[in-house]
Structure 1
Amino acid sequence: MSKDPAPTVYLRLRKNVRLHEGRVIRLGDIAQILAPGDSEEELQQLIMDRPEQKDGNRIIIDMLQIIGRIHTLMPGCVVEHIGEPHTLVEIAGKEKKPSVLLFIMVWLLLFFGSALTIMNFHADVSMQEVQIRIVEMVTGKRNEHPYVFQAAYSVGIGLGMIIFFNHIFKKKWNEEPTPLEVEMFLYQENLNHYVITEEYKKLHQDARREKG
């Protein structure tokens, strides 16, 4: 008689997972699972880790660790994984209500800081003299204070920033990511890469200590 083929479990790990403090980490939280029969629901509830305060707020769940846990539940099964070989789990504490006073202070700091930056740049390149010269070329008369031109120029800077960043308050003109969103994405990717590298170093150091 031929033996029944070993069941195959397919996994796709998520890159990043954010869980609330005090929760256990289950396989269903960090991965998409495809398994035969009722085993898929059991795998969803399979506990991978019980984070403690000493573990910090970021934990790495490695594929080798996952395979070991799955084999304890389903001996002899074949595990096929797709994509990332690990998941970075961020343990989030209790969310605090945003401070209105802090928001106003940051807003004022950014507003006046940006205004001073633009004014200093204009002073460095003699923008006022350039604007006076442009008005003189267009109208044929020299005006030492071309307020209409300067007001239109200021409005144009604001509109240009809105178009460039493709964002005004919560509204976007199209689905393209803004330059700021791209930079934040790249920063988050680099941060995650650094954290994962450091966590692997800690895991190797702990393994050496246990062997020693």
Structure 2
Amino acid sequence: MKAAVGSTVYIRLRKRVSVKRGESIHLGRIAQLLVDTEYEEALHKLLLHQPKEKEGNIVLIDMMLIVEKIKRQFPMLQIEHFGEPHCLVEVNDDRKPPNLVLIVIVWLLLFVGSGLAIMNFHADVSMAEVHRRIYQLLTGKYVQHPLLLQIPYSIGIGVGMIIFFNHLFKKKFNEEPSPLEVEMFMYQENVNTYVVTEEYCKIHEAREKS
């Protein structure tokens, strides 16, 4: 199929997509396309890369490869690109069911570790003595265990953590991202930048050897 003169395809690449091991990478899977209807299906099915069995689990698809593939099949088609000049394709093997024993062990480690961290913090700042002093100032009596303050304080720590992380199990209270989600997003962005740089270096080295 030949493209008419003046026909244009507009491409916006996705940042990161996942495919199963052995699945072909087509243009429609990694990009949003805006083009005349007569070319739309062919461009969506345009084969960009076929991951090999021994290939790593990350494949970098950049605009130069896409332009080359499109021009080979549609030499008269004009290409307009928006956004990122590359897309990271994560090649995943079949997922195994989660190991419940491992999940329980990790949960216990996190639970005990966070509990110890909170207790060590309170010991460092002498929180128990602070509660006794506050209770004495409010009531005029000195008691060893001011439960009237300690119980609401303990409940408040749990409620505060829920509000801070904006989650209760799978329920989210509002659309605002939690600090943990922001940190995970920044971490993923840094990982993507690192992987892209490494993949470009590998491509450059392969071209030099060839």
Q: What's the CA shift string for 1:114-172, capped at 9, x where partnerless?
A: 11001111111111111100110111100011123211111010011111111110111
Give the whole-Å Cα distance in 1 for the aligned partners of 2:127 and 2:121.
Answer: 8
Structure 2 partner of 1:75: 75
Equivalent position SS for 1:159:
helix
Confirm whether residue 141 of structure 1 aligns to residue 133 of structure 2: no
Structure 1 partner of 2:39: 39
**In percent, how many aligned pairs have the same letter?**
54
Give the whole-Å Cα distance in 2 for the aligned partners of 1:28 and 1:5.
Answer: 23
* Off by >3 Å, runs of 4+ in structure 1: none
Give the whole-Å Cα distance in 2 for the aligned partners of 1:126 and 1:42.
Answer: 70
What one-letter code is carried by the residue in structure 2 that aligns with 1:130? V
TM-score with structure 2 setting the length: 0.96
Give the whole-Å Cα distance in 1 for the aligned partners of 2:170 and 2:88.
Answer: 29
Structure 1 partner of 2:198: 198
TM-score with structure 1 setting the length: 0.95
Confirm or deny: 8 A CA contact 2:5 2:76 kept in the other structure.
Answer: no
What is the Cα-based RMSD across aligned positions, in Å?
1.0
What one-letter code is carried by the residue in structure 1 that aligns with 2:68? G
Give the whole-Å Cα distance in 1 for the aligned partners of 2:137 and 2:62.
Answer: 68
Confirm whether residue 21 of structure 1 aligns to residue 21 of structure 2: yes
Give the whole-Å Cα distance in 2 for the aligned partners of 1:153 and 1:31.
Answer: 51
Equivalent position SS for 2:167:
coil
Any residues of structure 2 matched to 1:110-125 within 5 Å, and which?
A: 110-125=110-125
| Deviation for aligned residue 1:55 | 2.3
Structure 2 partner of 1:184: 184
Equivalent position SS for 2:94:
coil
Equivalent position SS for 2:186:
helix
Q: What's the CA shift string for 1:36-92, capped at 9, x where partnerless?
A: 232110000000000013320000001010001001111121100111100000001
Structure 1 gap ranges (5+): none
Give the whole-Å Cα distance in 2 for the aligned partners of 1:60 and 1:26.
Answer: 13
Give the whole-Å Cα distance in 1 for the aligned partners of 2:33 and 2:10.
Answer: 6
Equivalent position SS for 2:87:
strand
What one-letter code is carried by the residue in structure 2 that aligns with 1:73? Q
Confirm whether residue 85 of structure 1 aligns to residue 85 of structure 2: yes
Q: How many residue pairs are counted as aligned between the two chains?
A: 207
